[in-house]
Amino acid sequence: MLSLTGYRLVLWTGASEMRLSFNGLSGLVCNEIKEDPFLYGTIYAFFNQKRTQVKLLAWDVDGFAIYYKRLARGSFGKPVYDSSVKMMVLEKKDLLLMLEGVEIRYRKRYSRSPIRQVS
């Protein structure tokens, strides 16, 4: 399993060409996201148009690493975001929920009710 602990997670909100590899995705980071892909500590997430495939690009100490996942059925969840932005920073839990197929926009956090003492 991929460990996302300690990383800044950036989501490219547009559709990506899944034929892109290390050079193509790092070029997308440079030219469109306007960040340096060679900085350690950031993982970039790219989804295809149908949201059935995802690629995660990260700079490791000595080179790029790509994590690629393709779903057999269904699609990945999609967070709520402003359509005018091209990228957004995600929290670790949101990316993990997306990779599990959970729709983040419908996620609701319930408050805990106090525990009642039985007399």
Domain definitions of the chain by residue range: 8-106
Compute the average pLDDT of residues 53-80.
Answer: 88
Q: Is the pLDDT of residue 71 over 90?
A: no
Compute the average pLDDT of residues 49-71.
Answer: 91
Q: Is the pLDDT of residue 84 over 50?
A: yes
Position 77 scores a pLDDT of: 78
Closest CA to 87 of 46, 38, 119, 58: 46
pLDDT band at 110 (very low <50, low <70, confident <90, very high): very low
Structure tokens at 109: 């956090």
Q: What is the mean pLDDT of the chain?
A: 83
